Amino acid sequence: MMKKIYIILSSLLVIFLFSGTIQAQNLYISGENELSSSKDINEDWEIILYSSIGNQSSSDITSKVKIHVEEMTTGHNYAICWGINCLPSTSDFDWDKSDEFVINANSITSMGTFSAHYYCTDYVSDPIPGKGVLVFTFYNVNNPDDNCTLKGTFIFTDGGSVSETYSIPSVNVNYTNDNILSVSAENSDNYQLSIFDLNGVQVANANFSTSYSGNFNNLQKGVYFYTILDSQGKFAAKGKILTEK
């Protein structure tokens, strides 16, 4: 009987506030993801995910990776390789023990610099059916708010052999000190932008397909929150802005 093994990926945009300016993070998932599955020499069922991480800043970034497990079937575990070292497998639901790795300025790591290994080691001949939902967060050790996240769902089941990848198109947001909010989307969609004050009252909204630019000088000086929803009602981006008068 063939074994069905697949993984679903999503790249989540992370935004940080600095001196009244919202910018996309310097670290990002490059979108170059590869998947393979095998039985290794110890006859462990294994799914391997390879990904590349980019640094769009003009300075080198010392980075680490941490893992949060949202769900994992008993008898499954995972391990990662980051940089030059591969770390022992674990079933910890929150793990932050990786080595540091320097990502050079304006560069993307080579494929294989990061790999995630999802195992089923407790079995007779077939893997234990089930899944793991793992969130991998790559972060700047000197500024943890500068980070990017890859979420994977690893599944072992019977009935065929399928590999799938899925990534959410990125939406980039920039807010300048002259109160101009600009948005650009990788893919065209029916996006809805909403601005809220600290009391949760909506003070502005707009619809756009691929890009938007608006002036918010009419708002009182202070902190506001924004959300951008796609046509399915899912968050494409969210964050905080500080208006200046």
Question: Looking at the chain, which residues constitute the CATH 2.60.40.10 domain(s)?
Answer: 3-14+26-158, 171-243
Partnered with residue 18 across adjacent β-strands are 21
53-69 b/e with 16+ CB inside 10 Å = b?
A: bbbeeeeebebbbbbbb
Distance CA 245, CA 186 (A): 31
Neighbours of 72 (CB within 10 A): 19
Q: What's 244's DSSP letter?
A: -
What angle is formed at CA 10 by the lines to CA 32 and CA 46, rounded to 5 degrees? 70
User: Given this model, what pLDDT does residue 17 score?
Assistant: 28
Partnered with residue 69 across adjacent β-strands are 134
Residues 182 and 25 sit within 8 Å (Cβ to Cβ): no
Here the tokens at position 126 are 């077939």
Regions of the chain short of the pLDDT cut 70: 1-25, 31-44, 121-126, 157-170, 234-235, 238, 245
Tell me the helices (H) and strands (E) count for the chain, helix number first. Answer: 0, 21
Here the tokens at position 121 are 């080691």
Helices (H), ranges, the chain: none
Fold classified for 171-243: Immunoglobulin-like (2.60.40)
CA distances from 162 to 5, 43, 58, 87 (A): 6, 20, 40, 27
Report the candidate in 234, 230, 203 with the shortest Cα–Cα distance to residue 216: 203
User: What count of Cα atoms within 13 Å lies in the side-chain half-sphere of residue 131?
Assistant: 15
Report the candidate in 210, 175, 178 with the shortest Cα–Cα distance to residue 195: 175
Is 2.60.40.10 the CATH number for 3-14+26-158? yes
User: Given this model, what pLDDT does residue 170 score?
Assistant: 67
DSSP of 13-72, one letter per residue?
Answer: --EEEETTEEEE-SEEEEEEEEEEEEE-TT--EEEEEEEEEEE-SSS-EEEEEEEEEEEE
Predicted TM-score (pTM) of this structure: 0.58
